[in-house]
């Protein structure tokens, strides 16, 4: 796995993975609070036991514009159950000490602004979070918010897409902490029949300008997708909507955890 630059805890976790000969990290995503916070806590423990190398946890938001119907519905269920940012962080404070893998928190910018960037990043760090992803962070605000994240010893993971101009992509990779997140498609999250063939070129393009780990997300839902992206040289594969569906759309939390375990093990197995 590519070495990350000397920035914070996410980097340290990645270096531990290097020592364990992890070629491509398995990074599952869940929405916090779907179907409830207790089940989310159990799901985090389960994914850790299934071999997750990093877990991405989403703070539910009322207008998740970058997400497709599966994660939108998941966020709506979580919000209706009272999954506030404070409740998410409270749960994480209890669970993260039990996990062997780092947690990266995904939050839209609105909840961060309401709490205040300095307060939010400090609270996230106190909850055991090691990195942040803010999909709607305005480009002009990146430097300021990154400074707040660094003050709290958090990595700010930045995203680049197939539509990102080359010069901006270079700036994004330079500023990104923890890893660089390649969005594999133009559009929202959600399963696709196959991986966009342009991802291979995007990976090569990004790796030419950075030695940081480069991870790919959006539209990944099958073991074949995972294998393909790993063969193209990705340092990590992020599985979102398909993972959320296993847990959030089950008939009961118990069934959801069973489905999640089976699915997670199949995706992890594709990387072994």
> pLDDT tens digit string along 97-146?
999 999 999 999 999 999 999 999 999 999 999 999 999 998 889 999 99
Of 87, 97, 86, which Cα lies nearest the Cα of 119?
86
Considering the four listed CATH numbers 3.40.50.720, 3.30.390.10, 3.40.50.300, 3.20.20.70, the one that applies to the domain covering 8-269 is 3.20.20.70
Annotated active-site residue 56? The verdict is yes
At residue 51, does pLDDT exceed 80? yes
In tens, the pLDDT along 172-196 reads 999 998 899 999 866 555 455 667 7
Which pLDDT score is estimated for 5?
Answer: 37
Instruction: Return the SS3 of 26.
Output: strand
CB atoms within 10 A of CB 34: 28
In tens, the pLDDT along 194-213 reads 677 889 999 999 999 988 89
At residue 169, does pLDDT exceed 60? yes
42, 48, 56, 155: the catalytic one is 56
Both structure tokens of 64: 């998740």
What does the alpha-carbon distance between residue 34 and residue 30 come to, in Å, rounded to a whole number?
8
Note if the bond before 227 is cis, omega within 30 degrees.
no
Which pLDDT score is estimated for 23?
Answer: 86
34, 42, 48, 67: the catalytic one is 67
Global confidence as pTM: 0.90
The owner of tokens 């803010």 is 134
Query: What is the radius of gyration, based on Cα positions, of the chain?
Result: 17
């Amino acid at each position: 796995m590519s070495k990350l630059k000397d920035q914070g805890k996410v980097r340290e976790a990645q270096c531990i993975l290097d020592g364990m000969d992890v070629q491509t990290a398995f990074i599952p995503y869940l929405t916090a609070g779907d179907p409830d916070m207790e089940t989310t806590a159990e799901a985090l423990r389960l994914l850790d036991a299934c071999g997750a190398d990093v877990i991405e946890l989403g703070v539910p938001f009322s207008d998740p514009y970058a997400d497709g119907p599966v994660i939108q519905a998941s966020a709506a269920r979580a919000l209706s159950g009272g999954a506030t940012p404070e409740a998410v962080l409270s749960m994480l404070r209890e669970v993260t000490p039990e996990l062997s893998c780092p947690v990266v928190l995904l939050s839209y910018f609105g909840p961060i602004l309401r709490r205040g960037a300095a307060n939010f990043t400090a609270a996230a760090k106190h909850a055991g979070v090691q990195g942040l992803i803010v999909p709607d962070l305005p480009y002009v605000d990146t430097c300021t918010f990154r400074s707040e994240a660094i003050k709290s010893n958090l990595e700010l993971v930045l995203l680049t897409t197939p539509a990102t101009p080359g010069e901006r992509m270079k700036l994004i990779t330079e500023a990104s902490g923890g890893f660089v997140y390649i969005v594999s498609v133009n559009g929202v999250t959600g399963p696709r029949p196959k991986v966009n063939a342009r991802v291979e070129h995007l990976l090569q393009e990004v790796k030419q300008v950075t030695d940081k780990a480069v991870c790919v997300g959006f539209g990944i839902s099958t073991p074949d997708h995972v294998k393909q992206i790993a063969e193209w040289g990705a340092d990590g594969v992020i599985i979102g909507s398909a993972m959320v569906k296993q847990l959030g759309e089950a008939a009961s939390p118990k069934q959801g955890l069973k489905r999640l375990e089976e699915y997670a093990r199949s995706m992890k197995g594709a990387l072994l």
